[in-house]
């Protein structure tokens, strides 16, 4: 820990508050091309029409939205991303997909479960410092009441970010990540004020890319194998490389970040699924 890290505001709780929103499921599949090509044209058309109809309905924002992507590379061929208000509704979407005839020609390669998460480091440090100065002990009724009041205020301000639509961008980059808990560097043993400072600097890099990329952070502690999932949406895929590369030089990433597998996909309108399955990449309409 640096000397700078030891100089922090009174911290009676090391745990920052978070806002949790939409439940998210990423599903990746490999197309069984040999089996698909062996199917008669009439049967292919029936399979495509059923899947396109279901996925087109799921694309609509009124259903809290799903999106279809064509994956690049050996990790899979199709990626489905589902945003839903609850895990029950997320499971219903997954089960609906499982009933499609198309699934007979798809092999699951991986999946990822998470929920939209907004970290409240700035608000947490302000609140904890104020409560400490008032002489309140953590997790007393007065403490809990003040904490819930702050969360309610933040929920009202952040409502649109808690339940976002899937950005209408051509490309998606998804990857999971952790913060280190190793013998030398352990994110969870750094004082909260120091973590706040690092996350503020980390966030400032992302703000410089506003308008070029949409970023959605989701928490997966207790849900999946990593701690967070990151979705980046953009019309130019090079922005993913530029953003992630630049962020790796800030302190939060350089010292504490562990990155999982990266997945890159191109957005495909569900109505164009048949075009994709014929071996042609459909265009994605732009605004």
Q: Tens of pLDDT along 122-163? A: 999 999 999 999 999 888 999 999 999 999 999 999 999 999
Confidence at 178, pLDDT banded by 50, 70, 90: very high
Number of residues written out for the chain: 287
The model's pLDDT over 36-83, given as tens digits with 9 standing for 90+, comes to 999 999 999 999 999 999 999 999 887 679 999 999 999 999 999 999
Choose among 82, 3, 75, 13: nearest CA to 270: 82
pLDDT value, residue 1: 38
Q: Average pLDDT over the chain, rounded to whole?
A: 92
Quote the CA–CA distance of 65 and 58 in Å, as a whole number: 6
Quote the CA–CA distance of 227 and 178 in Å, as a whole number: 5
Helix (H, G, I), strand (E, B) or coil at 115: strand
Where in the sequence numbering do the catalytic residues fall? 175
Q: Which residues pair with 107 in a beta bridge?
A: 30
Helix (H, G, I), strand (E, B) or coil at 258: strand
* Residue 235, burial from CB neighbour count under 10 angstroms (0-12, 13-18, 19+): middle
Element holding 38 (H helix, E strand): none
Query: Computed over its alpha carbons, how large is the radius of gyration of the chain?
Result: 22
Q: Phi and psi for 32 in degrees, rounded to 5?
A: -85, 80
Residue 35 has pLDDT above 70, yes or no: yes
Average confidence (pLDDT) over 6-31? 82
Residue 185 has pLDDT above 80, yes or no: yes
- Contact between 132 and 124 (Cβ < 8 Å): no
The model's pLDDT over 219-244, given as tens digits with 9 standing for 90+, comes to 999 999 999 999 999 999 999 999 99
Quote the CA–CA distance of 160 and 22 in Å, as a whole number: 11
pLDDT value, residue 221: 96
Percent of the chain whose predicted confidence (pLDDT) is above 90: 84
Q: How distant, in Å, are the alpha carbons of 58, 81, 88, 89, 104 from that of 25?
A: 13, 6, 12, 11, 20
The model's pLDDT over 71-116, given as tens digits with 9 standing for 90+, comes to 999 999 999 999 999 999 999 999 999 999 999 999 999 999 999 9
In this prediction the pTM is 0.91
Quote the CA–CA distance of 77 and 106 in Å, as a whole number: 9
Quote the CA–CA distance of 254 and 174 in Å, as a whole number: 20
- Contact between 51 and 59 (Cβ < 8 Å): no
Helix (H, G, I), strand (E, B) or coil at 148: helix
pLDDT value, residue 135: 92
Choose among 252, 209, 225: nearest CA to 114: 225
Q: What tokens were used for 4?
A: 């700078």
CATH code at 22-115: 3.30.70.1030
Give Dmax (Cα) for the chain: 75
Element holding 216 (H helix, E strand): strand 214-219
Q: What tokens were used for 96?
A: 């609906």
């Amino acid at each position: 820990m640096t000397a700078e890290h030891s100089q922090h505001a009174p911290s009676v709780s090391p745990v920052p508050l978070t806002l949790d929103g939409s439940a998210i499921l990423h599903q990746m599949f490999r197309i069984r091309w040999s089996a698909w090509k062996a199917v008669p044209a009439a049967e292919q058309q029936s399979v495509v029409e059923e899947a396109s109809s279901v996925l087109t309905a799921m694309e609509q924002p009124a259903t809290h939205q799903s999106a279809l992507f064509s994956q690049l590379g050996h990790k899979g061929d199709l990626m489905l991303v589902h945003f839903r208000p609850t895990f029950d509704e997320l499971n219903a979407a997954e089960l609906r997909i499982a009933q499609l005839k198309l699934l007979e020609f798809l092999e699951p390669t991986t999946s990822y479960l998470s929920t939209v998460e907004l970290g409240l480091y700035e608000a947490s440090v302000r609140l904890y410092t104020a409560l400490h100065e008032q002489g309140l002990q953590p997790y007393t009724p007065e403490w809990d009441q003040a904490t819930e009041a702050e969360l309610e205020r933040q929920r009202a301000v952040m409502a649109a970010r808690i339940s976002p639509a899937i950005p209408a961008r051509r490309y998606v980059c998804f990857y999971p990540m952790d913060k280190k808990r190793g013998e030398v560097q352990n994110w969870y043993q750094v004082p909260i004020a120091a973590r706040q400072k690092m996350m503020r600097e980390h966030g400032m890099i992302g703000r410089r890319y506003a308008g070029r990329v949409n970023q959605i952070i989701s928490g997966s502690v207790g849900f999946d194998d990593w701690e967070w999932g990151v979705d980046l949406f953009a019309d130019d895929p090079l922005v993913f490389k530029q953003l992630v590369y630049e962020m790796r030089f800030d302190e939060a990433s350089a010292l504490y970040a562990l990155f999982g597998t990266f997945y890159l996909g191109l957005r495909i309108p569900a109505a164009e699924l048949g075009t994709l399955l014929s071996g042609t990449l459909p265009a994605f309409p732009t605004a």
